[in-house]
Amino acid sequence: MNPSANSVVYNTPNYLDAEGGVRSWLFTRDHKRIGVMYLVLTTSAFALGGLFAMLIRIELLTPGPTIMSAMTYNRMFTLHGVVMIFLFMVPAIPGIFGNFFLPLMLGAQDVAFPRLNLLSVYLYLVGATIAVWGMIQGGADTGWTFYAPYSTTTTTKVVPILLGAFVIGFSSIVTGINFIVTTHTMRGPGLTWDRMPLFVWSIYATSIIQVLATPVLGMVLLLVAIEHSFGFGIFDPARGGDPILLQHLFWFYSHPAVYIMVLPAMAVISEVVCAFARKNMFGYKAVAYSSLGIAFVGFFTWGHHLFTSGQSAFDAGIFGVLSMFVGIFTAIKVFNWTATLYKGAIKFTAPFAYVCGFLFFLVFGGMTGVALATVSLDVHWQDTYFVVAHFHFIMVGGTIMAFLAGIHYWWPKMFGRMYSEGWALVAACTIIFGFNATFIPQFLLGNMGMPRRYYSYPAQFWPLNVASTAGASLLGFGFLLVLVYLLLSLKYGRVAGANPWGSRGFEWNTPSPPSALNFPVPPVFTHGPHDYQDRGPGEEPSPTPPPEAQHA
C-alpha cells in the first residue's frame, strides 16, 4: 500500500501472543481477537445447526416415520432454521472477517468503538445462550418465520427463542453502526472512497441494512413474544388483529436480511477473485455501487414472500417486478467477476475452487429466485421444496461457499500457518459435489409438488429424498474434513509468511499474524485496491512483501 510500510520494523508482538490468559481474551478490545471469538462462536453454532440438518435429512430418508415423531420433526426444522440464520448466516462473515479485516484494509488501528465491539460479542453470546436454553427446554415448532396465529398459540417454548433472536439483533445493530462509522471516519490518509477495497464497500452496504432493518425485526419478535405470553391480541383475528401484518413486518426485515447474508459473501468473493486471477477488478465502480443498489432495492421486495398470503394482485405484481431488479444488480456483479477471471493468470487453489462453486450456485440460485418472483409460477412453488432449494442454493451455495473461500484465503493471515493444500482441494470437491447432490433433487421434488415442513411423504418421492440425504452426508463429511485440517494446521502447518498468495489486498501488507498494534505508523495509501497493473520500470513494485514479524 505504501512504500514506507516496507521500511517499518514490526517489533511489537502479534495479536495472538500479545497478551496471555483467558482474561485477556474475555476483555479484549482488539478487533482481530474479536474476529477470532466470532469465528469460534459462529462455527460452533454452525455445527449445532448442521446437527439439526442431519437429523432432518435422516428423518426424510424413508417415506414414513424414520427416527422421530412429527412433533420432533417440527422442532428440528425450526431449530435448524433459527440457528443457521440468526446464529450463523447473519453474524458470521461480518463478525469474523469484517472485524478482522475492515480496520486493516482501511489502515486503521481498530474499529471506531472497540468497547461496543466487545459488547456485540457478548450480546451475541447472551442471545445464543437464551435461544439454546429455549431449545433444551423443548424448542419451538413454528418454523423460523414465526407466523401467527400458530406462533402465538403453540405450547412449545417460542418465547426464549424469540428473545434470543431479539438480543442477537442488537449485536447485529451494534456491529453495523461500528462498521459504518469506521468506514466513514477511520480511513487512512489517501484512502478515498474510490480506493476502498470492494470488501469494505460490500460490508458497508450490509451494515446499512443491519442498522435499518434489524430494529423492525426486533420489534416484531418482541410483539410475538408479548402476544404469546400475555394475549394482547396484536395478531389475533378474534381480537381484531391481523396475522398478515406480522408477515409484512417479518419480511420487511427478513428479505433485506437475505442480503445481510449474501452481501458479505460477495464482499469476500471480490477479494478472492482479484487475488487469484491476478487482475484488477473489472468495473470496480459497478461492483461497488451495485452493493448499494442491492441494499436499496432489497427494502422494497418483501412482498414476494406473501404472494399467496392474501395480498392484492396489484401488490403482488409490483413486488414481483421490484424483486427482479435485485437480479439485475446481482448479475452486474457476476459479469464483473467473470470478466475479471477472463484472461487472468488464474491460480487454482482451494479458495478459488470455492469461488467457482459460488459463481455457479449464485447464478443458479438467483435465477430460480427470479423465477419465483414471477407470481404465476410462485403460486405453484410456494411452500414446496423448490423454495427450500432456492434459498439453500444461495445461502449454502453462495454464502457458505464464500465463507469457506474466505477462511481458506485469510487463514494464513489470521493464524500465520498454511493448511494442507491437497486436503483442502479434496474437501472443496467433496463439499461442492455433496451440495449439488443435496439440493438439485430438492428442486425436482418441489417441482413435483413435495411440500416443505412435512415429516413424511408419498412413496414416489423416495428416490430423490435418498439422493438428497446421501448428498447431505457428503456435505457434512466435507465440513468435518475442513475443520480437521484447519485445526491441525495451527500446530503442524507450514509458517505462511506475510503474503503467501502474493495478493495485493491492503490487509496483506501486515505480518502474519498481524501485530497487536495494526500499524506502527499509520499507512499512507497511494493507489487503489487490488492493484495488479504492471508498473513502469523504476516505479515502486507495489506492494512488496513487508518484513517478517519480529516475534519469536
> What residue ranges bind Cu ion (CB under 5 A)?
255
CA distance 79 to 543: 47
326 touches, from ligand HEM, Cu ion, another protein, none (C-beta below 5 to 8 Å by class) = ligand HEM
Among 161, 395, 464, 472, binds ligand HEM (CB under 6 A): 395
Q: Does 181 bind another protein (CB under 8 A)?
A: yes
528 touches, from another protein, ligand HEM, Cu ion, none (C-beta below 5 to 8 Å by class) = none
Q: Does 262 bind ligand HEM (CB under 6 A)?
A: yes
Helix (H) or strand (E) segment spanning residue 327: helix 313-341
Q: Does 8 bind another protein (CB under 8 A)?
A: no
Q: Does 245 bind another protein (CB under 8 A)?
A: yes
Indicate the residue among 443 and 506 with the shorter CB distance to another protein: 506
CA distance 500 to 495: 10
Query: What are the two backbone dihedrals, phi and then psi, of residue 283, each rounded to the nearest 5 degrees?
Result: 70, 55
Residue 168: all three cell numbers together: 442477537
366 touches, from another protein, Cu ion, ligand HEM, none (C-beta below 5 to 8 Å by class) = ligand HEM
333 touches, from another protein, ligand HEM, Cu ion, none (C-beta below 5 to 8 Å by class) = none
CA distance 442 to 384: 9
Min dist. Cβ of residue 234 to another protein (A): 6
* Cβ partners under 8 Å of residue 454, min gap 6: none
Min dist. Cβ of residue 137 to ligand HEM (A): 24
Among 61, 125, 126, 226, binds another protein (CB under 8 A): 226
Among 3, 65, 138, 233, binds another protein (CB under 8 A): 233
CA distance 49 to 87: 9
Q: Please, how many CA atoms are within 13 Å of residue 521, restricted to the half-sphere of its CB?
A: 12
CA distance 70 to 205: 41
Q: Please, where are the H alpha helices in 88-242? A: 92-93, 99-106, 114-136, 150-153, 158-185, 198-230
Closest to 373 in 3D by CA, of 358, 355, 386, 357: 386
Q: How many residues bind another protein (CB under 8 A)?
A: 45
- To which residue does cell 391480541 refer? 233
Min dist. Cβ of residue 524 to another protein (A): 12
Indicate the residue among 92 and 516 with the shorter CB distance to another protein: 516
CA distance 3 to 541: 9
Instruction: Find the binding residues for ligand HEM in span 307-366 (CB under 6 A).
Output: 323, 326-327, 330, 366
242 touches, from ligand HEM, Cu ion, another protein, none (C-beta below 5 to 8 Å by class) = another protein
HEC profile for 348-407?
A: CCHHHHHHHHHHHHHHHHHHHHHHHHCHHHHHHHCCEHHHHHHHHHHHHHHHHHHHHHHH
Tell me which stretch binds another protein (CB under 8 A): 139-147, 218-226, 348-356, 417-425.
218-226
Residues engaged in binding another protein (CB under 8 A): 108-116, 173, 176-178, 180-182, 184-186, 211-216, 218-220, 223, 226-227, 230-234, 236, 239-242, 245, 248-249, 522
Residues engaged in binding ligand HEM (CB under 6 A): 145, 258, 261-262, 304-305, 323, 326-327, 330, 366, 369-370, 372-373, 378, 381-382, 387, 390-391, 394-395, 399
